[in-house]
Amino acid sequence: MAAGFRCWVGGVIAVMAVSVAAPAVAAPPLGPTGDTTFYTPPAEIPATPGQPIKTEPMSLPITLPGSNGPLPAETTRVMFSATDRTGSAVAATGAYLRPTLPWVGPGPRPLLVLAPGTQGQGDQCVPSNTLAFLLQYNGGLDVGVQYEQYAAIYPFLAVGGAVMLTDHESFGTPGPHSYMSRASTGQVMLDAARAARELPGNGLEPGAPVALWGYSQGGGAAAAAAELAPSYAPDLPIVGAYAGAPVVDARAQLRHFDRGSLAGALGYYINGAVDENPALAPATDRLLNDAGKRMLADTARQCVAETVATQGFRDSRSWTSTGQSVVEALDSDPDWAAHLDDDRVGQLRPGAPVLIHSTADDELVPTYSARRLAADWCAAGATVAYYEQPLPGDPVKLGVSHVLNSPLSLPGALLWLHGLLRGEPAQRTC
């Protein structure tokens, strides 16, 4: 066990050190001036979810030559079949990273399915495109840093684990990205796991264990996938799910965004929800004023940095025709209220252990929604470990503690997962 621990931690430190030292490279845009060919789905989508539709090779920004391929992984962009909120077959995309290092743990090589945090809603921000670059610049204020490499991807590859990054639904592919949609994000994440297991030459054994991982928006996706898996994907051998600072309650989250740095993310959610449920369009048109409608149109084309710069710290009452906050206005419509109700994770019992990390006063994701999720799952009899970093929130809601919590919780989360893969009993704090 000690040798495995040293390999794990040593690999994490070495790869992260190389990552920090690497130069930044600007990514070409994916949107109207970029190549969207790969992200255009075929006319017919396989009815069976999790089937690869097409693939193309891509590269990571930090690699070294190796005898088994580029270190630490050989990367493939993937389009696969998935299921949306309504149960219809859709095309989704992601990137599969086949490790070229041996797996240091016991048993077969595991698959980590990673859902990214908030990147924006413009197709130029799609993670499977920007993963090839450290820095993305599309002109003006449209700048993005591909921080997912500094989370779980490189550390997990360093110890020989495989990684499947999902783009969520309608990110890169046609339509607005379905932001914070419980059913969509959870099901697409599980379908991404299925697709990775179906890829030829993936380096995985048929019974390879699957772990779910995400932070912030990605943490909400991992949580949704964990509770949907027993009914939606009982075929997947899921060993555990890590949900860091999880976005798990749309109503609470929209209220928390208001007047903070990510106030414009209200637009991400509304755009995606109306696309998923067109019956919400008339009420949306009635409840938002002209400024609110412009905000929807603007955020639909933006990455997160531009949204913060142009829409941050707004009082959402300036976007409604009723003078209410956006959440209050939406809640006044029965269809919208029902949609918000459905976008709360915690209504089903996950079948695998879950680790939830939060902070004492998260400025971007409400701590109380993470506490409620842990309480709901504990009451249902799930195996849940809940921890909070004692970080204070900043008074202007910049998101400092939210950002710091990610690297601070990473080592403990990796060791928790390593323990599960070794067959050790899961922690339970209920």
Domain with 13 in it: what CATH number? 3.40.50.1820
Q: In what order do the strands lie in the sheet with 26-27?
A: 26-27, 135-137, 143-145
Tell me the DSSP string of 328-370.
HHHHTSHHHHHHHHHTBS-SS--SS-EEEEEETT-SSS-HHHH
Give me the CATH number covering residue 321: 1.10.260
Query: Does residue 415 sit in the same domain as residue 363?
Result: yes
What's the rounded Cα separation, in Å, for the pair 240 and 422? 12
Q: What is the pLDDT of residues 343-392, one digit of tens each?
A: 999 999 999 999 999 999 999 999 999 999 999 999 999 999 999 999 98
Number of H helices, E strands in the chain: 14, 12
Beta bridge partners of 385: 355
Q: What domain range is 101 assigned to?
A: 2-249+351-421
Residue 334 has pLDDT above 50, yes or no: yes
Query: Does residue 238 sit in the same domain as residue 302?
Result: no
Q: What is the pLDDT of residues 80-110, one digit of tens each?
A: 999 999 999 999 999 999 999 999 999 999 9
DSSP assignment letter at 110: P
Q: Indicate the pLDDT class of residue 30, thresholds 50, 70 and 90.
A: very low
Q: Indicate the pLDDT class of residue 146, thresholds 50, 70 and 90.
A: low
What pLDDT is stored for residue 145 in this prediction? 66
Give domain status of residue 384, yes or no. Answer: yes
Q: How many domains would you assign to the chain?
A: 2
Give domain status of residue 415, yes or no. Answer: yes
Return the ∠ at Cα 224 (arms to 220 and 227), rounded to 5°.
Answer: 140
CA atoms within a 13 Å half-sphere pointing along the CA-CB vector of 104: 21
Query: Does residue 101 sit in the same domain as residue 24?
Result: yes
Give domain status of residue 363, yes or no. Answer: yes
Give domain status of residue 427, yes or no. Answer: no
Last residue of a domain, one of 319, 342, 365: 342
What pLDDT is stored for residue 150 in this prediction? 61
Distances (CA, A) of 174 to 17, 87, 307: 37, 17, 21
Last residue of a domain, one of 342, 371, 401: 342
Query: Does residue 159 sit in the same domain as residue 273?
Result: no
Residue 333 CB burial class (10 angstroms; 0-12, 13-18, ≥19): middle
Residue 28 CB burial class (10 angstroms; 0-12, 13-18, ≥19): middle
Distances (CA, A) of 28 to 136, 148, 150: 7, 18, 21
Please measure the distance between the N-terminal and C-terminal CA atoms of the chain and give it in whole angstroms: 27
